Structure 1
Amino acid sequence: MPLRRLLSVLLTGALGVMGLVGLTATPAHAAPNFKAPYPCGQQWTYSHHSAEVRLALDFVRSDGGATSGAPVLASASGTAYRYYEAGGAGNYVVVDHGGGWKTYYFHLAAYSIGHGQGVAQGQQIGTTGSTGASSGAHLHYEQLYNGVGQTISINGASLAPYPGSYHQKYLTSDNGCSGGGRYWVDTFADAPGYGSPTSTTRTGTLYAGTNYVFCKVWGREIRDGAGNYNHWWLRTDLDVGPANQYVSAYYLSRWGNDQARDNNGTVVPDC
């Protein structure tokens, strides 16, 4: 075979091999639209260190709420499986999303689902803890494709480059913002809405009547001249103004000072 022809054949073969390598390195199934593994509106900071496997990130809460006991939510829908590893992951959950994609949630204080249970995106699967080989409460989180760790993406945006310590980067969750648990409450007057439980800048209004709320947060006191007061703030969607704002539990019709219960008497959960 002439040298020119031989080189052409070799080059074509090499390009073909390179093409196959590139193809196998790219996931054949697109990733789900993963969301942060904790509730809507919460801000957590995250870090990565060399001992972490499979491109994992560790998350701790950074908005003033407690990390320990905080709900852990499924990043996407799938089938959840419970496991335990004494010298490593502790209590952990794996959610199989299909198409080769899985997410891992390590060091849980407790499980909120059964083994092999189907879960929806935003459904609580456990609570944050420090079980297994852990020096403090945090959530170790992974995204895998066909068993290989992937750079973590939330809402389609990569979190790379990873920080080497906490409080360099932050992530606010929108997981469950448009769904999940709703608690119905009656309000006796139009309630002013605010962007946070400590803000004094009004963003809108929740009309008097029966309304839904998602969760509660401790914040600034609202008090009237008759001695009635409340420090709890309820996250809800305003009638006038943006979604996912806060109104004072002072406006609840059925309950007293520093209480935040729905119309059935159920305590509204912490955000």
Structure 2
Amino acid sequence: MRARITPLGTLLALVAGLLTALVTTTPAQAAPLFKAPYPCGQTWTYSHHSAEVRQALDFVRSDGGATAGTPVLASASGTAYRYSQPTGAGNYVVIDHGGGWKTYYFHLSAYSVADGAAVAQGQQIGTTGSTGNSSGAHIHYEQLYNGVGQSIVINGVSLAPYPGSYGSRFLTSDNGCSGGGGGKYWVDTFANATGYAQANTNDPQGVLNAGTNYVYCKVWGAEVRDGSGNYNHWWLRTDLDTVYAGKNGRGAYVSAYYLSRWGNDEARDNNGTVIPNC
């Protein structure tokens, strides 16, 4: 019996069909487990407006804390890149998470990472601001896959359908909570606080600015008390924003008296978790 020969054109068509089927059936790269772009325990409200064509969401704080100056955190690990667009996005950071996934963070008042730096989930990448084309402090946040805007998903749950205004939908963050984010615990402080070399007021090192800050752990030390009867013996180990000349702002101690939440001799993070002993 003579073998049957398939024409070359037919073979090429079959190969092309197989390649097309392979491409069209290849599944999309799974997204990272994205978390909210602001610190643990904080609750923000969010909205979407039609001008945001890449399915972005705008977040503002709704738990009584200030939006402006609050740390902006990486939603997932990756490589961070810094950009500036004075007439649009302002100061912004893009994090490349690999596999085609990127997140965008617009209108930052300041950057907290170097361009091209590797960042961990929960790491601060900037501070919330209103740079560029913005009418007030907020986080403009996007998730893109292969350059296409995606519906925002946090902790595996979609935030769609989006509300058209603030105040109807809210999201509490677990980004950087205890046990994650490099051992940092996020706390709110109500005033600028002097940091000291030890858990007493003998050797000032600098200042921790009021707002949302991270701390590492706590120690029992000298009492700090005010005229209204409020007091605290706990001191929080942290890194200071301003360092005095010749001093060391890394691992300094700030009194837990300055915590915006909780009570006398309490030292908890914004999520209510007791900060561990050093």
Q: TM-score, normalised by structure 2?
A: 0.63
- Cα distance in 1 for residues equivalent to 2:136 and 2:22: 44
- Cα distance in 2 for residues equivalent to 1:174 and 1:117: 23
SS at match of 1:256: strand
Q: Which runs of 5+ in 1 are unaligned?
A: 1-15, 184-212, 219-233, 237-248
Task: Report if aligned partners of 2:221, 2:235 keep a CA contact under 8 Å in 1.
Answer: no
- Cα distance in 2 for residues equivalent to 1:36 and 1:95: 14
- Cα distance in 2 for residues equivalent to 1:261 and 1:53: 47
Report what 1:265 is aligned to.
Answer: 253
User: How many Å apart are 1:180 and its aligned residue?
Assistant: 2.9
Report what 2:181 is aligned to.
Answer: 180
Task: Report if aligned partners of 2:35, 2:155 keep a CA contact under 8 Å in 1.
Answer: yes
Residue 253 (structure 1) aligned to one of 217, 221, 226:
221
1:1-271 equivalence runs, <5 A: 23=25, 27=28, 29-177=29-177, 178-180=179-181, 182=183, 214-216=186-188, 253-257=221-225, 261-262=235-236, 264-266=252-254
Task: Report if aligned partners of 2:39, 2:186 keep a CA contact under 8 Å in 1.
Answer: no
User: How many Å apart are 1:130 and its aligned residue?
Assistant: 0.0
User: How many Å apart are 1:235 and its aligned residue?
Assistant: 10
User: How many Å apart are 1:265 and its aligned residue?
Assistant: 2.0
User: How many Å apart are 1:135 and its aligned residue?
Assistant: 0.3
Shift in CA distance, 267/150, structure 1 to aligned 2, threshold 3 Å: farther
User: How many Å apart are 1:22 and its aligned residue?
Assistant: 6.4
Task: Report if aligned partners of 1:181, 1:214 keep a CA contact under 8 Å in 2.
Answer: no
Q: Which runs of 5+ in 2 are unaligned?
A: 1-17, 191-212, 227-231, 238-251, 261-269, 271-278
SS at match of 1:64: coil
Shift in CA distance, 96/162, structure 1 to aligned 2, threshold 3 Å: same
| Identical columns (%) | 66
| CA deviations over 1:170-218 (Å, ceiling 9, x no partner) | 00000011223657xxxxxxxxxxxxxxxxxxxxxxxxxxxxx642455
| CA deviations over 1:82-115 (Å, ceiling 9, x no partner) | 0000110000000000000000000000000000
- Cα distance in 2 for residues equivalent to 1:50 and 1:216: 33
Task: Report if aligned partners of 1:142, 1:152 keep a CA contact under 8 Å in 2.
Answer: yes
Q: TM-score, normalised by structure 1?
A: 0.65
- Cα distance in 2 for residues equivalent to 1:36 and 1:161: 17
Task: Report if aligned partners of 1:182, 1:214 keep a CA contact under 8 Å in 2.
Answer: no
- Cα distance in 2 for residues equivalent to 1:267 and 1:116: 35
Count residues in correspondence: 198
Shift in CA distance, 176/149, structure 1 to aligned 2, threshold 3 Å: same
Task: Report if aligned partners of 2:176, 2:186 keep a CA contact under 8 Å in 1.
Answer: no
User: How many Å apart are 1:254 and its aligned residue?
Assistant: 2.5
